[in-house]
Structure 1
Amino acid sequence: MKSGKAVGPDDIPVEVWKCLGEAAVEFLTSLFNRVLESERMPVEWRRSVLVPIFKNKGDVQSCSNYRGIKLMSHTMKLLERVVEARVRKVVEICEQQYGFMPRKSTTDAIFALRILMEKYRDGQKELHCVFVDLEKAYDRVPREELWYCMRKSGVAEKYVRVVQDMYERSRTVVRCAVGQTEEFKVEVGLHQGSVLSPFLFAIVMDQLSEEVRQESPWTMMFADDIVICSESREQVEENLERWRFALERRGMKVSRSKTEYMCVNEREGSGTVRLQGEEVKKVQEFKYLGSTVQSNGECGKEVKKRVQAGWNG
């Protein structure tokens, strides 16, 4: 765990354990073994501080344009790393998931999409892409779905109970410009800022999309960023509806306003895509994982942006 991170309510930074050296290793090993054996963690670790972070887009006064980051106990985060390492050993995530997977990164996902677009442009064929946005993805995950998906993925019941205990009776306060709110319970969603949450979310997405992936093979995921591709507009529309149904019946929510459609190498009159009768916004370019992809298959705008960033230092 990196140094210099904001501390949780217990005010114990990870630097304390690093400075104590071998003594810290022995103490934490004993402590974590007790937690894993009893399947109960210290009460203080259940508390957190929620800090709203503006997404730098939209109305600054709208709560929906803020992302909440939880400041949690650093010691608990160290335990989460132990649990994550053990859970990863038994869980297999599909190849279509690029987020938080070993030897995969945003660069790989962007490269795969660009190569696919380039091949269709060179072949003078249309490629239809829908970029699916999930509303408050981490915050919407139902806890019962999380336990179900962990068990279905093969996670040992002991570790399911350990993670359950991490979420039971969790409480937080919101830090704002004028101080902190009163403490309240957190009964839904994954912990934002948690070390374990990204992999837990990958498990949930893997299980919820298991059936639909077989019928929609041209799909890539980076955590909650989903790209559905197809050679025909009708097929990509059908696959979009399959994904919507698979996710929304289990508590997730596809954003109608932020999900967008792009046609690569578009011919005249290729039409639009609809989701439950509502037209999906059609765009000529889309910012995918921080990289601008264009409907003409070129990357001029992204190159220009990077050159400008280089000049600006």
Structure 2
Amino acid sequence: MEQAGFRPGRNCTDQIAALTTYIEKGFQNKKKTTAVLIDLTAAYDTVWREGLLFKLLKTIKCLTFYKLLNEMLTNRSFTVNIGASRSSTKQLNNGLPQGSVLAPTLFNLYISDLPATTSRQFTYADDIAISTQHEQFENNEATLNQDLEKFHKYFQQWRLKPNIQKNGDYDFPPE
């Protein structure tokens, strides 16, 4: 998997071009291509904080930096101001700090261990495409079903939710 989201010199167009090139090569090789597009629901707002801290602890070698990030992520609260009115304080138990320059990097780290798949992966921020090519669409379906099962388990483990309304699968026949 190569994440293109929130990386210098990379953008969404890079992943679209990579997927398009993959599909075109399938056309050249007379293979049928199927792609599944996955969008994660409110990805930043629903990052499981304990899971992220676990991944940070495994990744970060500097305990002082880990403690700083832990402090930034925990004991967060908010209020809503409308005119002269102010709501009561509410605790934020999950999610990444909105507007933080570290939030994109933390999200990339959170999903950096997406499961390995037989299908090719294209990721940009919280959008994931997996695609495979075979002589028959039935083989694509079997491969993608196995890979989607891996994603399903991963999403459950790390409390991520695919947005069913934005997900889809697409077939690209060579002719």
Q: What range describes the TM-score normalised by the shorter chain of this pair?
A: 0.7 to 0.9
For 1:247, the equivalent position in structure 2 comes to 155
* 1:114 and 2:20 aligned: yes
Q: Give the AA of the match of 1:107.
A: T
* 1:151 and 2:33 aligned: no
Identity across aligned pairs (percent)? 26
Once the two structures are TM-superposed, the CA of residue 251 in structure 1 deviates from its matched residue by 1.2
The answer to whether the 8 A contact 2:26-2:33 is kept is yes
The answer to whether the 8 A contact 1:216-1:228 is kept is no
* 1:97 and 2:11 aligned: no
Select which of 210, 214, 219 maps to 2:121.
Answer: 219
Q: Give the AA of the match of 1:174.
A: V
Question: Secondary structure, in 3 states, of the residue corresponding to 1:191?
Answer: coil
**Higher-Rg member (1/2):** 1
1:47-76 deviations in Å (ceiling 9; x for gaps):
xxxxxxxxxxxxxxxxxxxxxxxxxxxxxx
Please give the residue correspondences for 1:12-91 in structure 2 after superposition, counting only pairs within 5 Å: none
Select which of 155, 166, 169 maps to 1:261.
Answer: 169
* Alignment RMSD (CA, Å): 2.2
1:183-226 deviations in Å (ceiling 9; x for gaps):
2111111112211100000001013x1xx22x335111111100
Q: Give the AA of the match of 2:152.
A: R
1:116–1:180 Cα change, 3 Å:
farther
Where does structure 1 lack aligned partners over 5 or more consecutive residues?
1-94, 267-295, 297-313
1:228–1:175 Cα change, 3 Å:
farther
Q: Give the AA of the match of 2:142.
A: E
Output the CA distance in 2 between the equivalents of 1:176 and 1:117: 50
Question: Secondary structure, in 3 states, of the residue corresponding to 1:200?
Answer: helix
Output the CA distance in 1 between the equivalents of 2:82 and 2:172: 44
Q: TM-score, normalised by structure 2?
A: 0.86
Alignment coverage as a number of residue pairs: 169
Select which of 35, 53, 73 maps to 1:167.
Answer: 73
The answer to whether the 8 A contact 1:248-1:254 is kept is no
Select which of 124, 141, 153 maps to 2:47.
Answer: 141
Where does structure 2 lack aligned partners over 5 or more consecutive residues?
134-139
1:211-250 deviations in Å (ceiling 9; x for gaps):
x22x335111111100011121211122112111112122
